[in-house]
Structure formats: structure tokens, C-alpha cells
Chains A and B, each alone.
Chain A
Amino acid sequence: MTVFWHELRQGRTAFVIWTASIAFLLVICIFLFPEIKDEMGTVGNMFASMGSFTAAFGMERLNIGTLTGFYSIECGNILGLGGAFFASLTGASIISKEEKDKTAEFLLTHPVSRIHVITEKLAAVLTQAAAMDVIIFILSVLSIRSIGEDVPWKEILLLHGAYYLLWLELAGICFGLSAFLCRGSMGIGLGLAAVMYFLNLVANISKQAEFLKYITPFAYCEGADILSDGCLDIRLVLIGMSFAGIGIAAAYIRYAAKDIHG
């Protein structure tokens, strides 16, 4: 587990900054909820009558005056997109940084197999994403309690579970790309997360673009669907996980055979 712990130590600062930033925004958002709830009459109507904007975020099917509706729209966007950026960035850089920073030669001239290295690096990415989800979940629950609301355990667990799968999928795809890259991983990581996010907005707005739901992982994190169905869309999740699996498998195949120049 030497490489695993090493990666966690190396990624500690980025992890703390991303987790603190997302958690801070999320907690602020939760503390705004009582005010939103009080003004539900005007705010709710406003959110429900913004045409494409309303459709893009699924607000026509959610009641923003309820904690679950508010959490899935406002907090969900912060958590989903913020965590997606972190997972994509981490996944995209964790292999390629070794060649970019020229540390690959140091690492791979030690008696550790490339398969071992890549497995521990993958475990480090997934652990960081899981730790971020758990920390933010705990802070969310505490914040909900502190504003005097009951915690909607099932809904909030489903939402956080979906976001973890979203991060896992993006991290897996970026992990695969990372094995092919020597540099430029940051742009690819951020770009992929942003593109997927916007694909989901487009899929929500246009009926012709609904097929995009099978491409973007944000589709199975759609709060309106999760809250109304009481579960995740397993079909979309399985498609997403197969994308992640392909990315991870590509990383193993490529990294095991590639020439190391850094």
C-alpha cells in the first residue's frame, strides 16, 4: 500500500481545499433554506416559470419549498459539479503527473509492478472521492439539523450515492485518458466534467436530445427523477459504470505496456 498512502499524502492539500470549498458552499446553501421556505409563494412560482431554464434543472417536477427539492437542485448542483471537477482532475492527473513531473523514472525503477502502481493509484482516487462524499454528507446532515429540519435520510443518501457514482464514472474515464497523456490532463479533466454537465442540461431542455442521457453521468443524478422514483435509474447507472470500466481497463492495458520517458 506504499503508493496508495503516498498518493493520499501528495493529494492532501488539493483534497482539503476542494472538500472545504464544496462543503462551505453547501452549508451556506442549506442555511439559506429557511428563508427560501418562507418566501415559497413567490420564489416557487418564479422558479417554476422560467421556461427552458426551469426544464434544464428539472425544477418543473420539484418543489423547491421542500428540503429535498431544494437540496437536490441547489445543493446538488454544487456537490455534483464541484465533486465532478475534483474527481475528473484527480483521475486525469494521477498517472500523467508522473511523466509530466518526471517522477515516473524514480517510481518505476523500484521493485513494484506497473499493475500494482496503477491499482493503488486508482484506489487512492476512489478513496478520496468517497472521503469527500462522506465528509460533505456528515456536514450536510449536521447543517440540516441545525436549521431545525428533519433529515430526509433516504433521499439524501440516494443523492449522495448517485453523486459518488457520477464522480466514480468521470474519474474512471479520466483515469483511462491519463494513461495516454504526458501533459494537459488538467484541461481534459475540467473540460470533460463541464461538457457532461452541459449535455445533461441540453438533454433536459430538448426532447430530441434526450439520448444524451445515456452519455452523461449527470443524468442518473437528476434529483427530480431520484426523488419521484425513490431509486436510481439502474439502466443509466450500468451504462455509466461500463464507461468507467472501459476507462479503467484502457488505463491498465496502456500503462502496462507504455514506454516511460520521464
Chain B
Amino acid sequence: MDAIRTDGLTKYYGKARGIEQIDLIVPQGGFFGFIGPNGAGKSTTIRTLLGLIRPSAGRAQIMGLDVVKEREEILKRVGYLPSETAFYPRMSVREALKFSADLHRQDCRKEADRLCERLHLDVGRRIDELSFGNRKKAAIVCALQHEPDLLILDEPTGGLDPLMQREFFAILRERNQAGATIFLSSHILSEVQHNCSDAAIIREGRIIASGSVEELSRTGTKRVSVRGTLDCSALSGVRDLQISQGHTDFLYSGNMQSLLQTAALGDIQDISITEPDLEEVFLHYYGKGGDEE
């Protein structure tokens, strides 16, 4: 059984496109990245999975349960961390955590205490007095304290300092090793590359690529770095060209033979041809008329 499965999932807001024909499979126990810039449809997909909005067409299942008909059963087993959590006014962190636990009908105090300690979160403070980062920590504890089988995280690290981000991902990896599925929506590609085994890339409401992070990185494009002089004007398939003080750097998706012949004509002290990182892969997918924001 898959943790998440969508078939032709589509959502329109009136005539405006939300998502179109999303086919997504997230295996149980996976650490899955969902990549796309702002406005690509990541949050619409997540909101549909959580039953906050109804799909216009298609269907979605979480742990084999239908997101429209079996929403409550699903939410018992899901922890959701939105990009920005709005808590109720005049509540302390302790009260917000208790309210969330009560809605789950669980006593989560032990796990909540453990998480608050790891994230250095003061439960006695009022939520409206907290910084954005500390509110995010409170939202993390709310999402994790009931030990869900599936964690859906929407841009989870905004507001967290680097040390907290490291601690947060350490917690996620522990949960993942214990069997939980992690669905991480992000536009920070290094987060996905360093933590996820599989990923899907969404663009203008459609999935344009999915697979293992390793596979997605194999696009036929190479990062070429040259020390010396190299005239690239005759080469086709050159992008992101940067020339500075004896260094030439570019992404190359053309014929390798042509590159080597051109290199042989130049004055080159050193050359490296490597796989691009996920950020460059992302630009590859969005390069042709993508809506980068």
C-alpha cells in the first residue's frame, strides 16, 4: 500500500488553474520531496490531500483511504506542518499543544516535552509573543507529537535558524527510520537533495518529472568548469555561461565530441565535467519558459 497515491488529481478555482492531472505515488516509509516554485501547485496538492479543498476531478488516497470520504481516519495518522501556522490568539504554547492533542484524542505530553526540549521551545510563553521561528517550532511539535505515520511538510524550514534546521531534519530522519513516511514540499532544493530518496517536480500545476533524486539528477546535462580560455560561441547546448578571470563555467547539454574538440583548440590548464546538482536540474526543468519566482 502506498502512503500517498493520486490519479488525475485536478483542482480548478473557478476558471483558474490550481493543479491538473497530478499522478503521484509516494511509497510507505519513503522520504519524498515535492519540488516547485511558488504558485506551481504544491500547496493546492497538499490542501487537497488533507481534505481542506475538494478536487475538481481525479482522486487521491492516503494509506489506501479516500481523501474526500475518509478524511477523519486519514487525519488521525497524518501530521501536517504548513508553511505558516496561524494559532488562536491569547494561547500559550502549552495550551496550543494540548488543544491539538485533544483534537487527536491522545495524551501526547511525553512526546511533546521531548520535542520541545530538542527544539528549545518554551511552552510557558504566549504564542502571539513568539518570533516567527519559535511559532514554527510550536507548529512542528503540533505536527509530530501524536507520532503520525505520514508527515506532510509544506516549506517546513522557513524561520528556523541553521542549527534548528539540522535538528529538525535529524528528528525527521529518526521518524523516517522508525517507519514514518515523509512528504516534504519545498523550493529549497538542497533540502530535498540531502534528505529525500525520491522526488517529483511540479510546474504550472502539472508533474513534469518524478523518480529517485539520483535519477532526476541524470538529465544529460553536465556542469563544465574550465581554468584557462575556451571559446564556447560555436557550441550549441550551452547555458548558464559564466566567464571570469581565467575561469569558464557553464551547463552543457550538447554533443560531447564537439565539446572535446573545442576544448582541444583552447588554452586549458584544467577542466572538470561533473553531474549537476539538483538546483541545476531544477533550472533545467524550468529553463524553457518556467515560472521561476
Contacts and interface: CB of A to CB of B under 8 A. Distances in A.
Given A105-B82, A257-B54, A111 B72 contact: yes
Contacts of B86: 101-103, 105-106, 262
B104 interface: yes
B193 interface: no
For A101, A103, A104, A109, which residue has the most chain B Cβ atoms within 10 angstroms?
A: A109
A262 B50 CA distance: 13
Interface stretch (B23-31, B95-103, B162-170, B209-217): B95-103
Which of under 10, 10 to 19, 20 to 34, or 35 or more describes the interface residues of B?
Answer: 20 to 34
29 contacts: A3-B103, A6-B99, A10-B88, A10-B89, A10-B90, A102-B84, A102-B86, A103-B87, A103-B88, A106-B86, A106-B87, A106-B100, A106-B142, A108-B50, A109-B78, A109-B82, A110-B75, A110-B100, A110-B103, A111-B74, A111-B75, A111-B76, A111-B103, A111-B105, A112-B72, A259-B53, A260-B47, A260-B52, A260-B53
Interface string A88-116: 00000000000001111111111111000
Contacts, number: 65
Given A101-B89, A103-B86, A107-B103, 9 more contacts: A6-B88, A6-B99, A10-B90, A103-B88, A104-B52, A106-B87, A110-B75, A111-B103, A262-B86
Contacts of B84: 102
Interface in B50-103: 50-54, 71-76, 78, 80, 82, 84-90, 99-100, 102-103
Task: Find the residue from A10, A105, A110 having the highest chain B CB count within 10 A.
Answer: A110
A261 B54 CA distance: 11
B53 A108 contact: no
Interface of B: 47, 50-54, 71-76, 78, 80, 82, 84-90, 99-100, 102-105, 142
Q: Bin the interface of chain A by size.
A: 20 to 34
Contacts of A260: 47, 52-53
Contacts of A10: 88-90
B242 to A, nearest CB: 42
A111 B87 contact: no
B52 A108 contact: yes
A208 interface: no
A42 interface: no
B80 A109 contact: yes
Contact of A2 (B47, B78, B99): B99
Q: Which 5 residue pairs across A and B have the least CB separation, nearest first?
A: A110-B103, A102-B86, A111-B75, A259-B53, A111-B76
